[in-house]
Amino acid sequence: MAKIRFLNGTAIKLIAALFMTIDHIGLLFFPRLLVLRSIGRISFPLFAYMLAEGCHYTKNKANHFLLVFCLGVLFQIVYGVATGDMSEYNIFLTFSLSIVGIYSLQYAKEHLFSKGKPFEKVVATVQFPAVIVCLYVLSEKFSFDYGFFGILLPLFPSLFDQRYLPENRVTKLLSSSPVKILLLAIGLYFICAISPFGKNAFYAYIAIPILLLYNGTKGKWNLKYFFYVYYPLHLVLLQGIAMLTFFLN
């Protein structure tokens, strides 16, 4: 099994970045070549799954949210120029809301299975659906990349994450990689079903066999901040090439 699962977290993110770049090349240079945009759909579930993995290990939840949210705000101008639509919010802002949902879920599980007071358990449990409703309202009011189900997608593999759950055979099975990937695939269906890409949106499911090769490790190279920088940098570079091509022609 170890030989089959040979991709670490860094490798998964690099693969996702490659597909994302193909997507944006199609957006800026070949808008009628839908296959490039469709191939780009593979990147989102890969990033979503790795976000869920990151939330499992992150200790400073507030800093994690603020980092992703603030970067999303900073990157919005670059994204808006590249897409030609400033009203649609970039993937970092989508994922910042996903982080809120995941940490809300963790908080609910932590108190539900603790020895705290019954009232505290009720409050902790009720706050999670309340947060989900708030995320839905925000997704309806503002145009986030991938919409409401895009915000929820990282929550699917986090549902039975063993952190804060009792340790037994059932929770161990539910928190295993195959089950988490299956849950991601279920969540992915809702995105594909409402996607404007139609049947081509199901290209996103190519991410599933890739994730089955994930071995659960970060990898030797710590490229965390590389991926934060790469997002706006590749958009600026592609936009610059597009403008240069326009003026030369």
Bridge partner residues of 144 (DSSP): 89
pTM for the full predicted model: 0.92
CA distance 40 to 204: 8
pLDDT tens digits, 38-68: 999 999 999 999 999 999 888 899 999 999 9
Task: For residue 129, give both structure tokens.
Answer: 């659906």
Residue 248 is predicted with a pLDDT of 74
- In tens, the pLDDT along 81-134 reads 877 778 889 999 999 999 999 999 999 988 887 777 788 888 888 999 999 999
Distance CA 209, CA 77 (A): 34
pLDDT exceeds cutoff 60 at 1:
no
Look at residue 224 in the predicted model and tell me its pLDDT.
Answer: 80
Q: What is the mean pLDDT of residues 75-86?
A: 84
Phi and psi (nearest 5°) for 144? -90, 145
pLDDT digits (tens, 9 = 90+) for 228-238: 999 999 999 99
DSSP classification of residue 7:
B
pLDDT at 222: 80
Beta bridge partners of 7: 214
What is the arithmetic mean of pLDDT over 145-172? 88
Residue 2: pLDDT over 70: no
Kindly report, residue by residue over 202-223, the tens digit of the pLDDT. 999 999 999 999 998 988 888 8
pLDDT tens digit sequence for 178-198: 999 999 999 999 999 887 767
DSSP line for 9-72: HHHHHHHHHHHHHHHHHHHHH-TT-HHHHHHHTTHHHHHHHHHHHHHHH-S-HHHHHHHHHHHH
DSSP annotation of 90 reads P
